[in-house]
Amino acid sequence: MTINRQDPSVIIIGAGMTGIQLVIKLKEAGINNITVLEKSTTIGGTWRENTYPGVACDVPSHAYTYSFAPNPDWSNLFPSGKEIYQYFESVFYQHDIDRYTNFSETVIRCVYNKQQWTVETQQGNCYTADLLFSATGILHQPVTPSIPGIDEFEGPAFHTARWDHSIDLAGKRIGVIGTGSTAAQLIPEIVKRPNSDVTVFQRTPQWITRVEDKVFTEQEKQRFREKPHRMQRFKRFALYIFELGTSTLTGNSWWQKWMYTLFSYTAKRNLNNSIKDPVLRAKLTPDYKFGCKRVIINSTYYDAIQQDNAHLVTDSIERVEAKGVRTSNGDFHPLDILVLSTGFDASAFMRPMEFIGEQGVTIEQAWQNKIQAYRSMLIPQFPNFFLMLGPNSPIGNYSIIAISEIQTDYAIQAIKLWQKGTFDTIKARPEAMEQWSAMLKSKMGKTVWTSGCNSWYLDADGDPLSWPDSWKNWVQAMSQIDLKDFVTEGH
């Protein structure tokens, strides 16, 4: 089969944050034969699917913005999910990405054969492309906990990522299972509903760093409009703080230790200053290190959990019954509504799609021993395929937009080399994959994530699925293609 390298066809799965910027950057790189397949009828991903009360971003707005589409009009430091969705939608239409997008196309199967990808959708359509991108996001498969009796609850029961807006929360007894970042945003909103009564089932307490939200005044927005460099400075500052924060979780130099102590102290002080009742404070005090689980950035949860209509239950859940939840101490908690704030399967990546690479190898086979990808993006048996936000991307308390953009730049470098004929297919050598994994492994033990807690950061072996080193070193690793790591057969 002859490949038109100068005008390759590209399929992108997903029209969320990553899919949108991929189209824009690929077009800038002169690639126009692009098809985006989106399962829903609208753009979105995370910000379409998460509409629970209080949904917001806990990364500052100007840092949670594309580099090429600064937004002086952000209303808040931590904007609502709806505002973020509208931002992505405006970028999508401003850049005419609808021209490239086929909505209501749920990809179920991708097969590589003879230098081509064939992509099948649930709707019965079949597409082919030279290059394939998965832009399906990280936290998109909600986890329903395997608690006995979970299906027996008689009232409305739903995951936070599948919020049922037809249910009126006023005057209801609402049970929330889980106390992660989502619950910390949700609970303060639902305790405010008239005559609601909220029972929070906490399995593990969390470290919370208090950062107050801020509403930008019209004057400030005007200044950002007139002096974009000020906005850029603000963005750089916010990203720098996050960079500093995450680097203290992955390294042990004197200054990292010092900063780590400072950040942990801030979270401890927040807990001590915010929670008056020593019994409640003890229940909310984690027994693992700060940063082991993703740090929650929030200024409202501690106030909410001290309201008269909020109850924190720390006895483990024994079973869910038709009319409520029974805990291991025998107590029964009657409920009208059950909310599962139980997180996502962070190791799903593009699955449950079926992925078949060279010689019929499936993604399940390729990942049988370890979920891994060279530079988080390239899986050796799956040529010409880029997994965006793949394993060991520096996810966590950082702007995922910046990560996605850097990965796109790396992919475009690889595509340009392929277009020049430097290699026949974009494919990492298995040895390069092994070296990459060994390098990650050598650093993992130094991270706080392996210090003894359960979190979605860890894979089945207890190894972090996130980048176990500083942001600076990741940017460095992604800055250039190392040709010796690629298969160059035929040249």
Kindly list the residues in this chain that would bind ligand NAP in the complex (CB under 6 A): 56-59, 139, 145, 147, 177-183, 185, 203-204, 294, 317, 341-344, 454, 456
Nearer to ligand NAP, 56 or 481 (CB): 56
Nearer to ligand NAP, 341 or 407 (CB): 341
Q: Which is nearer to ligand NAP, 206 or 264 (CB)?
A: 206
Q: Which is nearer to ligand NAP, 471 or 486 (CB)?
A: 471
Closest distance of CB 160 from ligand NAP, Å? 6
Q: How far is the CB of 105 from ligand NAP (least distance, A)?
A: 26
Helix, strand, coil percentages for the chain (3-state, nearest 5): 35, 20, 45
Q: How far is the CB of 232 from ligand NAP (least distance, A)?
A: 22
Minimum separation from the CB atom of position 328 to ligand NAP (A): 12
Select the residue whose beta carbon is closest to ligand NAP and give its number: 180
Nearer to ligand NAP (CB atom), residue 80 or residue 422: 80
Contact of 467 with 138, CB cutoff 8 Å: no
Nearest-angstrom CA–CA distance, 248 and 469: 9
Burial class, 259, CB count within 10 angstroms (exposed 0-12 / middle 13-18 / buried 19+): middle
CB of 304 to ligand NAP, least distance (A): 15
Which residue, 129 or 157, is less far from ligand NAP as judged by CB? 157
Between CA 78 and CA 360 the distance in angstroms is 46
Tokens representing 291? 């940063």
Give the angle subtended at the CA of 16 by the CAs of 14 and 18, to the nearest 5°: 90
State the minimum distance, in angstroms, from the CB of residue 337 to ligand NAP.
17
Minimum CB distance to ligand NAP smaller for 291 or for 357: 291
Q: Which residue has the tokens 């942001």?
A: 471
Q: Which of 64, 66, 399 is nearest to 75 (CA)?
A: 64
Give Cβ neighbours of residue 471 (< 8 Å, ≥ 6 apart): 242, 243, 246, 247, 394, 398
Other beta carbons within 10 Å of 367: 18
Residue 456, CA atoms < 13 Å, CB-side half-sphere:
21
Handedness of CA 103, 350, 65, 70 (dihedral sign): negative
CB of 435 to ligand NAP, least distance (A): 29
